[in-house]
Amino acid sequence: MAIHKTAIISKKAEIASGVDIGPYSVIGDHVKISEGVKVGSFCVFESNTTIGKNCEFFTGAVIGSIPQDKKFDKTQKVFLKIGNDNIFREYVTVNPGTGENGTTTIGNNNLLMAYTHVAHDCCIGNDCTVANNGTFAGHVTIEDMAIVGGLTAVHQFARVGRMAIVGGCSRVVQDVPPYSMCVGYPAKVYSINAVGLKRAKMPSERMRLLRQAFKILFNAGLIRSNAVAKVREELGTSPELEYLLSFVENSKRGICHSAFSEEQETDSI
């Protein structure tokens, strides 16, 4: 363990062995930091924050400060739970939940680049990447293996689906479907995330089914329920199709629209 002499650590904090804490960092009450964590200089960790193993926090990260929510009551007990092997680059900010026992959760093996903001009650899965200045409003869900481009803002209660990629400078006001490639202001669906799916070694036949499903869901001019029924009728089933269709069926904010007409989409995919 290497704790710089200028660091300020509450007696109520729990610091495991093998934790490095840099100059002028502050660790507040009821913060729990697990083995192998590295904290850079000028970082701040506040109450009821739990950090898993082998995470790394770069200069100026502010983790667990109270929610930026006018209705937040400071007498309420709220939480931030962070998993293992995450990287938080310079000046990342992460807030806990809001409302009694409200919780923000971040899974494992995520990269949050500089100036990323994760607001109250967000849920970030595993193996996600958020580029510089990615901004998530309250109650946002980012599913496993999603990528969010720089300077992208995600509206409260919106979801970014599994293995989706959102291009930089986008405004996400509706749910981004799993396996998709979206970008725009507001964000629109352009195609499946072919590069990401290939990197994940998805079989080509399953990718082909996803391409066909996207054409039906986003370019056939059908209402949601009819489009979902047509996909099931014409394409059968696969784990990816079922996940995609369940995501679409359970959307509360609606799904991002297609960027193309049916004719253009046919030509481009």
Any idea which residues carry the catalytic annotation? 120-121, 138
Structure tokens at 127: 């193996």
**Total residue length of the chain:** 269
Beta-bridge partner residues of 94: 63, 118
Beta-bridge partner residues of 142: 124, 160
- 154-179 core/surface letters (b: 16 or more CB in 10 A; e: else): bbeebbbbbbbbbbeebebbbbbbbb
Place of tokens 């904010």: 253
Going by their DSSP bridges, the two strands 93-94 and 103-106 should be labelled as unpaired
Candidates 269, 208, 255, 203; CA nearest to 236 is 208
**Distance of alpha carbon 188 from alpha carbon 260, whole angstroms:** 9
Beta-bridge partner residues of 172: 154
